[in-house]
């Protein structure tokens, strides 16, 4: 059998995991990763909450539910095998008000259907044993929810790809993939066409995924609309007030979760992220306005439909964008001892959130094959938790499909 050649576009945790999986399953394959930045994992994969989600919220039977559970196992084992810190600090989803209880119950049922281990509903007293400073009338406790550094995992995978004979081409922005007969050609922004041609290409380009897909002949929708998430680090002296992860019960009126507490693997305690439209897909400090990125969402009918349906959510998030104290106040509803805590802004994350033409946010992962090119069109959270399972799915189920 001839040696298969694969191009993977994007050196985030998904692209790297796909490249690794290709080499694990086909040790003789030629695998080249094209990454536009000068280092791997410079975007979502290193700007996230670092949570290894257990699979509480996802629709049973969907890709998210399935790949998240498998992803947890793979990430946990990878960290153990590679001496990468992995902390099962646990998570509580906390109801403050009676009207949240049916929704908390629904999450509990979903988590059981998804096979999440150890989940329990706990009362006020037990919640205080788990998180002594957290108030709430009832909570869902997920003891195995964990934290890691996905940036660190991605760096390790990149080294492993090279150890296994794969190639990572940095500073190589791909303009489009061209499929001619059985060959795929990779054209770079410079106009150069990579000298080698490929049998398969897998595009894992995160915030740019819709653009690369469309330029390569895939459908125009769903489109990526970037939503940033701001985090604040709480004062060192207060960080022991929270032991693990404290989340609100999701409110169906709002498309994003709301401010929560996230412990970091480096020991910091953060609050956030909020969610607000980003004036650039890669605008991490908030100062670089990208005309092209803004024009893209403003000219997308889906964005206006989304905006008109989510005015109250937008106002809620806007308050947390404009005022640090509102942000802290939101969090202190769960941990009142932090009402006056000092905070320092941390670097934002920007979500590659796919949106349909009708304004609906795409919830599940979208992985689509067109000819011999496969595109990840939507991989929001828990996309990092699921990355190695997404890779298995693409390599073992999507690519062999003819």
By CB under 6 A, tell whether 44 contacts ligand FAD: yes
**Residue 174 found at the interface with ligand FAD (CB under 6 A):** yes
User: Which of 352, 254, 266, 356 is closest to 310 using CA atoms?
Assistant: 254
| Closest CB to ligand FAD among residues 204, 341 | 204
Task: Tell which one of 8, 23, 51, 158 touches ligand FAD (CB under 6 A).
Answer: 51
Asked whether position 22 contacts ligand FAD by CB under 6 A, the answer is no
Q: Which part of the chain contacts ligand FAD (CB under 6 A), choosing from 38-46, 112-120, 127-135, 312-320?
A: 38-46
Place of tokens 């690794």: 20
When binding is defined by CB under 6 A, the residue of 114, 208, 274, 372 that contacts ligand FAD is 208
Residue 10 contacts ligand FAD per CB under 6 A: yes
- Backbone φ/ψ region at 183: left (φ over 0), alpha (ψ -120 to 50), beta: beta
Percentages of the chain per state (helix, strand, coil), in multiples of 5: 35, 25, 40
CB of 124 to ligand FAD, least distance (A): 27
Of 90, 136, 166, 229, the one binding ligand FAD (CB under 6 A) is 229
Q: Distance of alpha carbon 204 from its chain centroid, rounded? A: 12
Quote the CA–CA distance of 307 and 302 in Å, as a whole number: 9
Least distance in angstroms from the C-beta of 36 to ligand FAD: 4
Residue 261 phi, psi (nearest 5) = -95, 130
Applying the rule CB under 6 A, the residues between 139 and 158 that interact with ligand FAD are: none
Number of residues located near ligand FAD, criterion CB under 6 A: 43
CB closer to ligand FAD, 372 vs 385: 385
Q: Which residues pair with 186 in a beta bridge?
A: 177
The answer to whether 374 contacts ligand FAD (rule: CB under 6 A) is no
Among 361, 372, 383, 389, binds ligand FAD (CB under 6 A): 383
Q: Does 382 bind ligand FAD (CB under 6 A)?
A: yes
Rounded to whole angstroms, the Cα distance separating 161 from 46 reads 19
- The residues with which 6 forms a beta bridge, in sequence order, are 31, 200
Helices 301-309, 311-322: crossing angle, 10 deg rounding: 90
* CA-based nearest residue to 8, from 364, 402, 375: 375
Q: Which of 389, 300, 316 is nearest to 353 (CA)?
A: 300
Q: Strand ranges (DSSP E) for 108-158?
A: 120-123, 138-142, 146-147
Binding pattern to ligand FAD, positions 303-342, x when CB under 6 A?
----------------------------------------
**Site residues for ligand FAD per CB under 6 A:** 9-15, 34-37, 42-45, 47-51, 53, 173-174, 204-208, 212, 229, 273, 349-352, 376, 379-385
């Amino acid at each position: 059998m001839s040696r298969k050649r694969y191009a993977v576009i994007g050196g985030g945790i998904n692209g790297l995991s796909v490249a690794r999986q290709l080499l694990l399953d086909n040790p003789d394959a030629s695998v080249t990763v094209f990454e536009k930045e000068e280092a791997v994992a410079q975007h979502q994969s290193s700007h996230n909450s670092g949570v290894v989600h257990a699979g509480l919220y996802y629709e049973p039977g969907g890709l998210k539910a399935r790949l998240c559970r498998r992803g947890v196992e793979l990430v946990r084992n990878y960290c153990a095998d590679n001496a990468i810190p992995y902390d099962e600090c646990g998570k509580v989803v906390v109801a403050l008000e009676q009207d949240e209880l049916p929704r908390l119950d629904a999450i509990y049922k979903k988590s059981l259907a998804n096979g999440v281990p150890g989940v329990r509903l706990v009362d006020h007293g037990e919640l205080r044993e788990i998180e002594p400073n957290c108030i709430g009338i009832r909570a869902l406790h997920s003891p195995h929810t964990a934290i890691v550094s996905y940036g660190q995992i991605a760096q390790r995978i990149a080294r492993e790809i090279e150890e296994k004979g794969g190639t990572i081409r940095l500073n190589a922005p791909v303009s489009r993939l061209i499929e001619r007969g059985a060959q795929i050609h990779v054209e770079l922004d410079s106009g150069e066409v990579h000298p080698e041609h490929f049998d398969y290409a897998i595009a894992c380009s995160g915030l740019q995924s819709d653009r690369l897909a469309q330029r390569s002949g895939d459908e125009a929708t769903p489109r990526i609309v970037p939503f940033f998430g701001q985090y604040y680090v709480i004062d060192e002296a207060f960080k022991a007030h929270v032991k693990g992860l404290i989340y609100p019960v999701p409110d169906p009126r709002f498309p994003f979760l709301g401010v929560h507490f996230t412990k970091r693997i480096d020991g910091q305690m953060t609050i956030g992220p909020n969610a607000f439209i980003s004036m650039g897909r890669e605008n991490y400090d908030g100062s670089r306005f990208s005309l092209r990125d803004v024009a893209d969402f403003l000219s997308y009918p889906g964005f206006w439909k989304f905006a008109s349906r989510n005015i109250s959510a937008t106002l809620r998030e806007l308050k947390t964008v404009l005022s640090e104290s509102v942000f802290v106040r939101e969090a202190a509803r769960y941990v009142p001892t932090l009402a006056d805590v000092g905070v320092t802004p941390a670097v934002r994350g920007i979500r590659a959130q796919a949106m349909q033409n009708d304004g609906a946010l795409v919830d599940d992962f979208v992985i689509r094959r067109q000819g011999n090119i496969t595109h990840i069109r939507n991989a929001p959270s828990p996309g990092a938790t699921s990355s190695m399972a997404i890779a298995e799915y693409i390599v073992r189920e999507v690519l062999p499909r003819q």
